[in-house]
Structures are given as structure tokens and as C-alpha cells.
């Protein structure tokens, strides 16, 4: 088979109609039935002798043939118009779907994304919680892993802009490094304060006042608190 001369499949219906019109359609169609065997055959002429003759299609006039040709052309034209209309409708539907997709994408780009309620944020939080609960003791490697998990959670829940602002705030904070002592020790408890004895802070003509605000008469027997000891008086004024 020569593929170069092969007829495209889409052109076969039109070529078949043209071939039909090109045939001489003035002949009639006659069915011939053999009376002995019942064999049926068709012809456009006379049936053989001994057969039953039945006219299937009468011989058409030129006017009828022309009318059929015009009807076939009209049917083919209507079919082509219908196909063009269907193609146009499909193209319009595809264009409408593309326009809706562009509008949806534009709205999604314009609307701010809710990072805090996103699936990425929930996954990052879950990973951070699982990692934090699995840390038995703090080591440098575990601190690095925990810091990476926290930063991933911050990025997923705050978004790129919020994460950048948080990183700038972290960079501005002073870094304090506490070096643990090589050997643990317990400082000695501070000694309890020794209660201080009251002492005379001043005297007037009639009484003296100590450091607690108490008053002592200067005349008569009694004891007066002094600096480190008590001053005694057997009568008269206190010597303090």
C-alpha cells in the first residue's frame, strides 16, 4: 500500500458522496429471485428467465436525480456547519475555563495566605513537639536539631516575611553564653546576723534614748544600755 496516495479518513464521507453522484443513477434496481433455489440477486437490467422479478427502486428521472444531489449537498453543508459550530463551542469553553483559572490564580496571589492555619504549619509543629519530647538530656547535637526544628516551624507558621522579621529580631538580641563550672560545689551558708544590743544614742536633761527609741530616766536607780555593756546607776544621774 502506498501511504503517500492514501486518502485521509476525514475526507472519505465527502468522497463517497461525490462518487455516488458521479455514478449513472438513471438505472433502476431490480431484485431477481430464483424460483427453484430461492437465491436472490440484484440487477439494473432484466432478470434471467425462471426468476421472479421485483422492482426495488424505480428508474429515476433527471429531475429526481438533481433533487437528490441538491439534498445531499445541503445535508453535507449542514453537517459541516454543525461541526464548525461544535468546534467553536469547544474553543469557547476552553477559553472560558482558562479565563476562570487565571482569575482564580490572581485572586489566590492577591489574598494573603493564612500560614498559621496551613497544613505545613501543623506538620512543623507536630515534628517540633515530637522532637522536644524525645530529648532525654541536652547535648550540642540535640540543641542543633531542636533549633532547626523550631526555625522550620517558624517559617511554616509565619511565612517568609514574618520569618525574616523574626530572624532580624533574633540577630539584634545579645548572645549570652554561660560556661558551666568544671566541678560542682555548694557555697557555705552565710552566718546568721548577731542581734545587736541597744545602746544610748543621746540624752536630754531628764531622760536618755537608746538605739531602739526606748527612753530611760536619768534620775533614780536603773540600768542604761551602753556600748558593749550596761551602765548601772544607784541613784542620781546615769554616767553614760
Domain boundaries, the chain: 13-60, 61-111, 115-170
The pLDDT value given to residue 229: 53
Residue 54: phi and psi, rounded to 5, are: -140, 125
Residue 188: phi and psi, rounded to 5, are: -70, 140
User: How far is residue 207 from each of residues 81, 84, 212, 232, measured CA to CA in Å?
Assistant: 131, 127, 14, 14
Is 98 within 8 Å of 106 (Cβ atoms)? no
State the average pLDDT over residues 6-22.
44
pLDDT band at 205; cut points 50, 70, 90:
low
Sign of CA dihedral 113, 117, 123, 128: positive
Q: Which residues pair with 231 in a beta bridge?
A: 224
- Rounded CA-CA distance 151/143 in Å is 12
How many CA atoms lie within 13 Å of 23's alpha carbon, on the beta-carbon side?
9
Checking if the pLDDT of 88 tops 90, the result is yes
The pLDDT value given to residue 86: 95
Using one digit for the tens of pLDDT, what is the confidence trace for 192-204? 666 677 777 777 7
Mean pLDDT of the chain: 76
pTM of the model: 0.31
Amino acid at each position: 500500500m502506498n501511504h503517500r496516495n492514501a486518502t485521509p479518513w476525514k475526507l472519505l464521507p465527502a468522497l463517497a458522496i461525490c462518487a455516488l453522484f458521479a455514478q449513472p443513477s438513471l438505472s433502476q434496481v431490480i431484485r431477481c429471485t430464483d424460483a427453484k433455489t430461492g437465491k436472490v440477486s440484484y440487477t439494473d437490467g432484466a432478470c434471467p428467465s425462471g426468476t421472479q422479478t421485483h422492482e426495488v427502486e424505480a428508474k429515476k428521472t433527471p429531475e429526481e436525480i438533481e433533487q437528490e444531489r441538491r439534498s445531499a449537498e445541503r445535508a453535507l453543508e449542514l453537517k459541516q456547519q454543525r461541526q464548525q459550530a461544535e468546534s467553536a463551542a469547544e474553543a469557547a469553553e476552553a477559553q472560558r475555563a482558562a479565563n476562570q483559572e487565571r482569575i482564580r490564580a490572581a485572586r489566590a496571589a492577591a489574598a494573603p495566605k493564612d500560614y498559621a492555619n496551613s497544613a505545613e504549619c501543623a506538620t512543623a509543629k507536630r515534628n517540633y513537639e515530637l522532637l522536644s519530647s524525645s530529648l532525654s538530656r541536652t547535648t550540642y547535637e540535640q540543641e542543633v536539631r531542636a533549633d532547626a526544628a523550631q526555625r522550620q516551624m517558624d517559617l511554616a507558621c509565619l511565612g517568609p516575611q514574618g520569618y525574616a522579621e523574626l530572624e532580624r529580631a533574633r540577630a539584634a538580641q545579645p548572645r549570652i553564653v554561660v560556661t558551666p563550672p568544671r566541678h560542682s560545689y555548694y557555697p557555705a551558708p552565710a552566718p546568721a546576723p548577731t542581734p545587736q544590743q541597744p545602746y544610748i544614742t543621746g540624752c536630754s536633761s531628764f531622760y536618755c534614748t537608746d538605739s531602739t527609741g526606748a527612753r530611760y530616766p536619768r534620775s533614780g536607780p536603773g540600768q542604761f544600755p551602753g556600748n558593749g555593756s550596761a551602765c548601772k546607776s544607784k541613784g542620781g544621774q546615769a554616767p553614760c
